[in-house]
């Protein structure tokens, strides 16, 4: 299968690893390594396990914000009583992030996110569900609400809640 991937598609998408979701264009191969135009490389024997061919639109594994090579976190400067924040760019290959990923003993905390969505008023919901059936209405309502939830809004709201969480954790 790896020979088919090397020869046919020029574009591959990471399906595993911290690069999940990223699309790569094959630059070449020396037999042991397949090299991509981005500068990334993979052991050629692992191509079929870690990457999938891209046909048309790439698959959406994770939010586009998570796919970026760096994530900006707004962290309150320690010891500062002012609300000034400093933006730190954390690389995916950060040694701190690598250590965090290897930890097996965690405390579990909840970060609650509220999402505002529009749903029909009860009289409209009752009318539609009595006309089309409760099951079909419930399934359509779930899809209708899901369409309103935007990844950008969720990521923004999560970052706001995370800033509060970090502040409380430090106290």
CA dist 36 and 6 (Å) reads 11
Retrieve residue 49's tokens. 């396990």
Fold of 2-53: SH3 type barrels. (2.30.30)
| DSSP single-letter state for residue 62 | S
Distance, in Å, from the CA atom of 57 to the CA atom of 116, rounded to the nearest integer, reads 30
Beta-carbon contacts of 119 under 8 Å, excluding residues fewer than 6 positions away, are 125, 141, 144, 145
pLDDT, one tens digit per residue, over 85-129 is 344 566 777 777 777 777 777 778 777 777 778 888 999 889 888
Residue 81 predicted with pLDDT over 60: no
Examine the pLDDT at 69 and tell me if it is beyond 60.
no
Do residues 23 and 12 touch, judged by C-beta distance below 8 A? Answer: yes
Segment 127-148, tens digit of pLDDT: 888 988 888 888 888 888 888 7
Boundaries of every domain in the chain: 2-53, 64-170
Q: What is the pTM of this model?
A: 0.34
Instruction: Average the pLDDT over 36-57 and give the result.
Output: 86
More confident: 27 or 75: 27
- Describe the crossing of helices 122-132 and 134-148 by its angle, rounded to 10 degrees: 130
Q: Per-residue pLDDT averaged across 36-65, rounded?
A: 78
Q: How does residue 33 score in pLDDT terms, banded at 50, 70 and 90?
A: very high
Distances, alpha carbon 28 to alpha carbons 2, 24, 35, 77, 113, in Å: 14, 12, 5, 45, 45
Q: What is the pLDDT of residue 89?
A: 62
**What proportion of the chain, given as a percentage, has pLDDT over 90?**
9
For 42, counting Cβ atoms within 10 Å of its Cβ (0-12 exposed, 13-18 middle, 19+ buried), the class is buried
pLDDT value at residue 60: 67
Q: Please report which helix (H) or strand (E) contains residue 66, including its range.
A: helix 64-67
Note whether 100 and 18 are within 8 A (CB).
no
């Amino acid at each position: 299968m790896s020979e088919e991937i090397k020869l046919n598609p020029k574009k591959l998408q990471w399906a595993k690893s911290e690069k999940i979701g990223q699309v790569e264009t094959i630059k070449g191969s020396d037999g042991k390594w397949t090299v991509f135009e981005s500068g990334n490389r993979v052991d050629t024997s692992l191509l079929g396990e870690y990457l999938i061919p891209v046909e048309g639109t790439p698959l959406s594994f994770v939010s586009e914000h998570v796919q970026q090579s760096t994530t900006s976190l707004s962290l309150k400067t320690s010891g500062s009583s002012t609300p000034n924040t400093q933006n730190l760019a954390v690389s995916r290959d950060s040694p701190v992030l690598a250590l965090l990923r290897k930890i097996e003993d965690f405390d579990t905390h909840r970060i609650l996110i509220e999402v505002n969505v529009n749903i029909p008023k009860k009289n409209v919901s009752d009318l539609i569900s009595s006309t089309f059936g409760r099951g079909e209405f419930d399934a359509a309502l779930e899809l209708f609400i899901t369409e309103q939830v935007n990844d950008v809004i969720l990521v923004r709201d999560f970052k706001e809640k995370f800033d509060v969480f970090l502040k409380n954790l430090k106290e």
